Amino acid sequence: MHSSAYRPQFSWQLRTRRLALGRRTLLMAIINLTPDSFSGDGWYRSQGSLDKDAPLRPESTAEARGQAVAAAVAAMDAGAEIVDLGAESTRPQATPISSEEELRRILPVLDQLLGERPDAVVSVDTYHAETAREVARHGAEIINDVSGLAWDPRMASVVAESGCGLVLMHTRGRPSEWGSLPELEGQEVVPLVFAGLREQLVQAEAAGISSERIVTDPGLSFGKRGRENFALLAGLRRLHALGRPLLVGLSRKGFLGEVVQPLQRDPLEIRQARHVATVAGNVTAILGGAHILRVHDVQATREAAAVADAVLEQSPEGWAAQNG
């Protein structure tokens, strides 16, 4: 790690390669292979139906897979360094799925994507150990576990054996519990997340996952409500004391909509408002020292990141980093 106040630099060890983190912001493109994504972009939705829970027509599956692969390729061409495949929604009302169903959705897309783009750096968003084991065998480089290794007791050992890079997220409770969690005062949020991530890092390393393989994610909206997320964004830089890179995923999340929706006179403008709010939130995250952003809109984020990175480079801390 090269340490500087503006953004520490790391070399992230993945299964077969390394990624340099810190000199500029890297983008992880979201490819949702779900019928019920909260952001409305899942590829495995029934064609011609607005019912997100409607069963898939068999003839639509191949087309959906092709569309998902095309979206992943387009994201890479737009500048995403990582593609993140996710097959289970974590919205509070979502129905959990089995590892078998998760693999049914992921493996055909993963195989086709790596067949077309062997150089793709693919992350898989899962908390199931068996899913992690199989996607690593099929070429995934990163496991993105929203539970921070907590929801499947076998996950830590599987990730250690796979050699994959790990995104270790802080989650406060399970999705079904989020609505009943006690509210946090603003000053409580960052210390809570810091302590949780520190404990998770100790557990991961005890399981044999070396620190150079781990990126931390503060888990915006994962058990944090409303303005608790803004308190976390405001204190993001304090998480650098964990000594690991930071990934931030806030794309299209509800807490952004809550602050911009009152400004909209036309309900049809709300979706566009979340787009603008997402860009603003991502710039805030970069200026707070985020190394990687998990995003839906690669092009807009890439442009915003270029501006934010330029600001960081020209800060006094940035000069010190460049010179030494």
- Supply the residues annotated as catalytic: 253, 294
Instruction: Tell me the two tokens of residue 224.
Output: 């944090």
Give the residue from 122, 221, 227, 211 showing the smallest Cα distance to 170.
Answer: 221
Instruction: Tell me the two tokens of residue 312.
Output: 């960081």
Q: Would you call 299 exposed, middle or buried from its count of C-beta atoms within 10 A (0-12, 13-18, 19+)?
A: middle
Phi then psi for residue 202, to 5 deg, are -60, -45
Q: What angle do CA 276, 279, 283 make, to 5 degrees?
A: 145
Please identify which residue in the block is written with the tokens 């019912």. Answer: 51
* Percent helix, strand and coil across the chain, each to the nearest 5: 50, 15, 40
DSSP symbol at 69: H
Phi then psi for residue 110, to 5 deg, are -60, -45
Contacts of 221 (CB under 8 A, 6+ apart): 229, 250, 253, 254, 255
Please identify which residue in the block is written with the tokens 């996710």. Answer: 86
| Pair 87, 33: CB distance under 8 Å | yes
Residue 259, CB-side half-sphere exposure with 13 Å CA sphere: 16
| Pair 255, 265: CB distance under 8 Å | no
Phi-psi region of 246 (alpha: psi -120 to 50; beta: other; left: phi over 0): beta
